[in-house]
Amino acid sequence: MIMAAALAMVATATGAEPMHGIAMHGDPALPADYTHFPYANPDAPHDGAITYGVVGTFDSLNPFVLKSMRTTARGIWDPEFGNLVFESLMVRSRDEPFTMYGLLAETIETDDERTWVEFTLNADARWSDGVPVTPEDVIFTYDILTEKGRPPFNRRMARIERIEKTGERSVKFHLNDEADREFPLLLALTPVLPAHATDVDNFEGATLEPPVGSGPYLVESVEPGARITYRRNPDYWGRDIPAKQGFDNYARITVEYFRDTTARFEAFKKGVFDIYPESDPIKWETAYDFPAVTDGRIVKQAFGTGRPQRMLGFFFNTRRDVFADRNVREALAMLFDFEWVNANLFSGRYTRTGSFWQNSEELSALGRPAGEREQALLAPFADAVQPSVMDGSYAPVVTDGSGRDRAVLRRVVQKLGEAGYAIEDGRMVRDGEQLAFEILLGTVPGASQNEIERMALSYQTTAGLIGVDIAVRGVDDAQFQKRRQTWDYDMVAGSLSSSLSPGGEQIWRWGSESRDPEGTFNYAGAADPAIDTMIAAMVDARAREDFAAAVRALDRLLISGHYVVPLYHLSENWVAHWSHIGQPPEPALYGYQLPVWWSTRTE
């Protein structure tokens, strides 16, 4: 523990000025006297209730440890629904690429090199039991998350030289050489835990004991695996600060759990819960013909977004020998007949994904040759990027839509031949062993399990035409999360969100250091010095132009590595909701934000 050394009071003579916010590049868009975020309505109704519906189960109220990383009740620490119980030092604006504004901390200070960062806590910040939030709590948080927490929290101390209390309400982080320019923003986003109300001895275990947090809601009731209900904390300390105006608009929030998407949708139709994000175009066109929609009690809405599209796909586990060869991965990715799937299963509503920053003119490498900055970054890794990806001519294979495009199948067989495979007696074999693997399926963001299964079965059929044996295995949510966390799969359905300001999270998706530890998001098992170098260049960039070049260079490496069979995306987000649910007229840059919606029904 670092507690004893860190609590010494020291004076600072830095010359830096306290700031109300901090941006990854440039300055915050909002001034120090801003009143609310542009996408929030400070005059929103504030007395209604909402119920969300999710697929899965839960057995814990602690989202900060590996054991319950995927089985913690939604809402506790949950950006989608709002961080209802725990809060961070600062909060991210969803109207800017990556800018933080004060929450528990009212100001932030740092030097030009960002070698240190100091936060001054809001004097009003309180835990739900009325105890003030203190620098000791911040220091305690890093102690316990380092010792017992899950990724990425448990690894953040590796980039911190020391933490010290510098005033009654201030705490300073001295960073070491492993920290990058993004790291102060990640510190600002880390949840803060109460030192006086945390069971240190049992922290790593699952618990259903309602936690003491600083957030706007309290846990009211828990039915393990079925539902959790939160009620507004009437003494919430932060209700008047600018970053919370137009948020936390419900007196009560309930999260209902369902065994699968079918049960979830049927419950939504009956009014069991209020909002249903939809990703299935067939359902969007044909399944919303029930009375509540036709008479206007349920509203269908389409929302645009300025953020890049997520990467939804089947991820190769390169930890397995069968996928160690890039030629094999490239060939198998070519086998997925998107044109047939899109036309026959999804009414032609989807667009094929090819980039990890799809639809971003600034960050995607698709359709553009590498510029001088990218070329310089990639120069030490001459063979890492395929020529077509480097010159911008690459695109995912387009088939004739027949489900058995002979020209594409010939290309696949040829590519597999380069890896030593050949067709013998109708089987694709190498050294007498058939090319065979299993796809592990479960619920992933961006697609229903039914959609994923239909695509996997189509992929299985096409692969069988050239003697590749694919087994498709769907499992329940708990088993899916456990196997995915422990890399217990050949290929796995996965989904990685994207943003206009990618940063340190890429380490836990693609960095060499995240290949082996369980619980990271490196589904593919990537471990490539070129990727590590691009991530480092990205997070260290000061100028936006250098940052964008590093992201595009990383995109080229990931595309060339063929770590994923990319599937599809929608150009807009679909949401159905009951008509008593309202939202501000203009969504944020990152799309609609559920935490600023409200209900016109009073409790």
Quick: pLDDT tens for 542-563. Answer: 888 999 999 999 999 999 999 9
Q: Residue 447's pLDDT is what?
A: 81
**Residue pLDDT, tens place only, 493-513:** 999 999 999 988 999 999 999
φ, ψ at 508 (rounded to 5°): -85, -5
pLDDT value for 206: 87
Please count the other Cβ atoms lying within 10 Å of the Cβ belonging to residue 29: 15
* Contact by Cβ (8 Å): 86, 213: yes
pLDDT tens figures, 467-486: 999 999 999 888 998 999 99
Hey, what are 168's tokens? 């009654």
Q: Does residue 7 surpass a pLDDT of 70?
A: no
CA–CA separation, 155 and 218 (whole Å): 29
Angstrom distance (rounded) from CA 517 to CA 529: 18
What pLDDT band is residue 571 in, cutting at 50, 70 and 90? confident
Cα(60)–Cα(365) distance, rounded to whole angstroms?
A: 41
CB 581 within 8 A of CB 274: yes
User: pTM of the entire structure?
Assistant: 0.78
Rg (alpha carbons) of the chain, rounded to whole number:
25
Q: What is the mean pLDDT of the chain?
A: 94
Instruction: Report the C-alpha gap between 593 and 591 in whole angstroms.
Output: 6
Phi and psi for 143 in degrees, rounded to 5?
A: -60, -55
pLDDT band at 14 (very low <50, low <70, confident <90, very high): very low
Coil/strand/helix, residue 50: strand
No. of H helices and E strands in the chain? 16, 26
pLDDT at residue 258 is higher than 50: yes
How far apart CA 510 and CA 380 sit, in angstroms, is 19
Beta-carbon contacts of 64 under 8 Å, excluding residues fewer than 6 positions away, are 77, 145, 149, 150, 153, 191, 193
Contacts of 601 (CB under 8 A, 6+ apart): 48, 49, 580
Portion of the chain with pLDDT greater than 90, in percent: 85
Q: Is the per-residue pLDDT at 8 higher than 80?
A: no
Q: Which pLDDT score is estimated for 488?
A: 98
Looking at residue 477, its pLDDT comes to: 85
* Beta strands, E only, 259-394: 275-278, 298-303, 311-316, 351-352
Determine the 3-state secondary structure of 229 from DSSP.
strand
Q: Which of 229, 198, 228 is nearest to 213 (CA)?
A: 198
Mean pLDDT calculated for residue range 328-355: 95
Quick: pLDDT tens for 197-207: 999 999 998 89
| Edge-to-edge order in the sheet of strand 573-578 | 275-278, 573-578, 298-303
Domains detected in the chain? 1-10+19-24+34-259 (3.40.190.10), 311-424+498-569 (3.10.105.10)
Q: What is the pLDDT of residues 150-184, one digit of tens each?
A: 888 888 888 999 999 999 999 999 999 989 899 99
Angle ∠(580,586,590) on CA atoms, nearest 5: 105
What is the model's pLDDT at position 166? 98
> How far is 338 from 50, CA to CA, in rounded Å?
38
- Which of 188, 93, 91, 215 shows the shortest CA–CA distance to 593? 93
Confidence of residue 603 (pLDDT cuts 50, 70, 90): low
- Per residue in 392-446, pLDDT tens? 999 999 999 999 999 999 999 999 999 999 999 999 999 999 999 999 999 888 7
Q: Is the pLDDT of residue 3 over 80?
A: no
Could you report the per-residue pLDDT of 55-113, keeping only the tens digit for each? 999 999 999 998 877 788 999 999 999 999 999 999 999 999 999 999 999 999 999 99
User: In whole angstroms, what is the distance from residue 104 CA to residue 402 CA?
Assistant: 57
